[in-house]
Every structure is written in structure tokens, then in C-alpha cells.
Amino acid sequence: MTTMLSHDRYCSEILHQTELLRGALGEGADASVTVPTCPEWTLGQLLLHVGQAHRMATGLVRDRVKEFVPPSTAAQGGPAPAPGQPSAEDLPALAAWLGEGAEALVAVLREAGPDSPVWTFSEDHRAVFWARRMTHETLMHRADALGALGVPFTAEPEVAADCIDEWLDILTFPAAVAFKPRLRELPGPGRTLHLHATDTPAELDAEWFIDLTGEGVSWRRAHEKAAVAVRGPVTDLLSVLFRRLPADSDRVEVLGDRELLGFWLDRAVF
């Protein structure tokens, strides 16, 4: 697992991203509005999902869980409140509950430290995995919520770049392939992709080469010729990669094999 940011930075980002998400829920926001990028969910269900994810990670790290069986399928009809959790229709209660959950998660992560052993779905069984995972879980669902509210989404360059790193890491995990068998369809002759952020400082090295010519997904930070390249601001690259922004958006430039890009985006998804 690559790690660009420190454990403490991830902890701070969980709080920061949660507060940005809560702050977007201004007066007049409707919990029942459909989330365009999660079309089976309402905004309230999206917030419920984020809070439940925070609490799941809190329990794993706090209890030093060594074995865990994740749900095999998503909840039918969208996230539903567990006992003691707010209704998906009660936006003020959800916002407060979301903040409480983020604070509890960060307190547990900071007490545990980055290297405490805990179950993860990667080969890295340390608490820092969950600090990173919950940072980007919150970041991308903030993007979903802002889309539902009609508000532009932006992310700090180093956070967006690390989110891309983490996503590409996840696609290499055997557990991910077992969970999403369509990932096995990605490898093939000549299948390479290049992502190039156009708005980041040189020291961030925000370019990625994704190689599908072997037995699975591999990637590296590099400027290399590929069958298809996507260029644009790093937040927009991130949004395309996570299918929060169409690949044919005028906010990014696609050079080369567009069919390969579509093939990738159709399968590299959870």
C-alpha cells in the first residue's frame, strides 16, 4: 500500500472532510433529494452510509479486530438506520450524528496510532489503512452530496492525488478481485492508461501509468506513453476515475483509445 500522507494528516482530513460535508447541508437542503452519482440513494441515505462507515471503522480499530466478514452485497433499497441511528429523513439529526461519528473515529485512530494491528481487506493490516480509507470515503461521498445539492466539488491537490493512489491500490488487492469478479476482465494486450494532472506543482508528481498488460492491474507514478491518456485538473481526474464526472466532459482532455477508457471505467468500479 502506498501512503503519501501521514496518519495524523489522515485523521485531520476525516474531520475536515466531514465538516465540509456538514457545512454543505445549508438551510433548505432536502434529505429526500436523489443523489445523481448514487441514484438508488437519497441525500439522507448517503449521509447515513458515511456515518455507518465511520462507526464500522471505529469498531474495527478500537477492538483490534483480526477477522471480519464484510457484507457480500449492498443493502437492498439503500442504507437504513440501525437502532439508535437517526432517520434518513432527519437532516439536522444526521448532520450532528455524522460529526459525532467522525470525532469518535479520529479519537480511536489517534489513540491506536498508525501501526496498531487490525483487520483490513488489503495485505497491510494496520490502523493507518482505515485512517486513509475513511479519509477518501468521506471525500468522495462529499462529492456525491455536493452533486445532489448542485454545488461544485474541489479537493486539495495532495488529498486528491492520494485518493487516486489509494483507488489504484485497491484495484490490485486479491480481495477486491474476489468481491468484484469483473476486475478480472481488465488485463489484456496493449491496455495501458495514463492520467496527467495539469494543475499541480511538479513536486507532487501527479501522473499515473496504469498497466493492464500483465495478469492484473499494476500502476506507478510516471509520465509514460499509453494507449489512452486523460489530462486535466487533479480534482477532475479523480472525479472521472470515480465516475463522478463523465469522461467526455470538457473539463478533461482524452487522447488515444477512448474505447479502452470506457472499458476501464465500466469495470474498475465498486
The neighbour count for residue 137, using CB atoms within 10 Å, is: 20
What phi-psi label fits residue 156: left (phi over 0), alpha (psi between -120 and 50 degrees) or beta? beta
pLDDT at 233 (0 to 100): 98
Model confidence band, residue 2 (pLDDT cutoffs 50, 70, 90): low
What's the pLDDT band for 74 if we cut at 50, 70, 90?
A: very low
In the predicted structure, residue 249 carries a pLDDT above the cut 60? yes
Q: Which residues contact 219 (CB under 8 A, 6 or more apart)?
A: 168, 172, 208, 209, 210, 211
- What domains lie within the chain, and their CATH numbers? 7-153 (1.20.120), 158-267 (3.30.1050.10)
What is the pLDDT, as a whole number, of residue 219? 98
- Asked if residue 78 has pLDDT above 90, the reply is no
Q: Chain-wide mean pLDDT for the chain?
A: 94
Tell me what pLDDT residue 213 has.
98
pTM metric for this prediction: 0.95
Asked whether residue 227 carries a pLDDT value surpassing 70, the answer given is: yes
pLDDT of residue 4: 79
Beta bridge partners of 211: 192, 218
Tens-digit pLDDT profile for residues 139-198: 999 999 999 999 999 999 999 999 999 999 999 999 999 989 999 999 999 999 999 999
Q: Does the structure show a pLDDT above 50 at 79?
A: yes
State pLDDT tens for residues 41-73.
999 999 999 999 999 999 999 999 999 876 654
pLDDT, position 75: 47
Query: What is the rounded distance in angstroms from the CA atom of residue 157 to the CA atom of residue 65?
Result: 33
Chain position carrying cell 474495527 = 60
Side chain identity at 213, as an amino acid letter? Answer: T
